[in-house]
Amino acid sequence: MNVDDIYNSVAQNMLVNIGRQEWSKAVIEVEYYGDDALKMKGGFHQKNTDFTSFKFRNFDRKIVNDFQQLHEITTENDSNMWNRAVFHLKPTGEFNIDFSWDQELADEIERLNDE
């Protein structure tokens, strides 16, 4: 699977969970903790600007694997390290993803792993 396949898979998973509702934008925020651990939150804005949170229990488990693979591919050779990602999707299919490094999050993960 390449990066484009992963992006398409994430977007499709979001679309399935939005369903037939009219919406203007959707977002998933990811905190990446390590190999098999990540936290996701997000939702979508309906046309009337109400925000509806995703119920991630309704998502295909594949979305976790998608973000794990995305992390593996994009941080290869310790370049472009990130532990936070925000995936934005528009109804047109246009999307963008922002990766960032949160040192406080990294420090907290390390502290918890040392306990």
Q: Where are the domains of the chain?
A: 3-114
Q: By mean pLDDT, which of 45-59, 74-88, 94-108 is the weakest?
A: 45-59
Dihedral angle over CA of 58, 62, 66, 68, nearest 10: 100
| Beta pairing partners, 86 | 29, 98
Average pLDDT over residues 66-80: 88
Task: Provide the CATH topology of domain 3-114.
Answer: 3.30.500
Of 93, 105, 85, the residue nearest 14 (C-alpha): 93
Give the residues across from 39 on adjacent strands.
Answer: 31
Tokens of 91: 């109804």
Give the pLDDT of residue 109: 86
Is pLDDT at 33 greater than 80 in this prediction?
yes
Strand order across the 23-34 sheet: 51-53, 37-46, 23-34, 84-89, 95-100
